[in-house]
Amino acid sequence: MTPSTERLFIDLILILYLAGAAGYFAGRRFAGLSRAAFWLSSAGLAANLLALVNRVSLSGRLPLANGYEFLLSFTFITVLLYLLYEIISGNKRAGGVVMLLNGLLTASIVLLMPQHIGYTAPLMPALQSPWLTVHVITAIIAYSAFTLAAGLAIIQLRNAVPGDDLSLYKIVSAGFAMLSLSIVLGAVWAEQVWGRYWTWDPKETWALVTWIIYAIYLHLHRQRGWRGNNARLLVIIGFLLMLFTFFGVNYLLPGLHSYA
């Protein structure tokens, strides 16, 4: 793919995700549309997969090395998780919010990092490590799970049905486990590359703050029986902190993670 074709693909993904979101929102009134929304989102997922395959063939490595590739993998896993969730649970309520979030994440590629689209740079020495793959993949799965959880929590704020609390808890648990793995694997890597496993670098600090919010949610849910909107607000706050850990730290605060 040439840079302009790759850009076209990103635009296509963006349009399909936003169309999917619109379909899910409209599907609350006109039931047939949410079926169309599912297929629009699936088409977006396929385009997203093609864009990832193209990145792999362009760079010869997994698409995990900069902010653009991270976002592309992040939206792919999030939509994949959502569609699986929809198929398994038969629940389409969160589709609109989740697909809108994915649309906005894809839009952030176009708005914030257009210079990366279609181009690859060789890895700098610090990134040439097998730890890169496991550290970033676990982070992406964690981010995806938290995004799905936030979408569910936003919908549940206004109308909750029995079983909602438990599915939210399960998804947050999985995301929390992945974030824990990512932080520990990142620390192992940092020890190998810089000789320091923890430096209170902005990315580390904000990832820890995000981790703490979800840890508090898990304790309150399990041990104090927290259910309902207070618990959901914590999940949404955790998601906002996660977004800040990704965008805020990359764009506002300098640090060791300034690769994007």
Residues that bind other proteins (CB under 8 A): 121-122, 124-126, 128-129, 162-163, 166, 169-170, 173-174, 176-177, 180-181, 184-185, 187-188, 191-198, 200, 202, 205-206, 208-209, 212-213, 215-216, 219-220, 223
Minimum Å gap between C-beta 232 and other proteins is 17
Query: Tokens at residue 167, please?
Result: 């599915």
Q: How far is the CB of 2 from other proteins (least distance, A)?
A: 18
Give the residue from 176, 252, 255, 174 showing the smallest Cα distance to 215: 176
Nearer to other proteins by Cβ, of 159 and 223: the residue is 223
Q: For residues 32 and 163, which CB has a smaller minimum distance to other proteins in the complex? A: 163
Long-range contacts from 88-93, C-beta under 8 angstroms, 24+ separation: 89/167, 92/24, 92/27, 92/34, 92/37, 92/38, 93/155, 93/159
Q: Smallest gap, in angstroms, from Cβ of residue 259 to other proteins? A: 13
Shortest CB 186 distance to other proteins, Å: 10
Cβ-based nearer residue to other proteins, 10 or 77? 77
Cβ atoms of 246 and 143 closer than 8 Å: yes
Do the Cβ atoms of 107 and 14 come closer than 8 Å?
A: yes
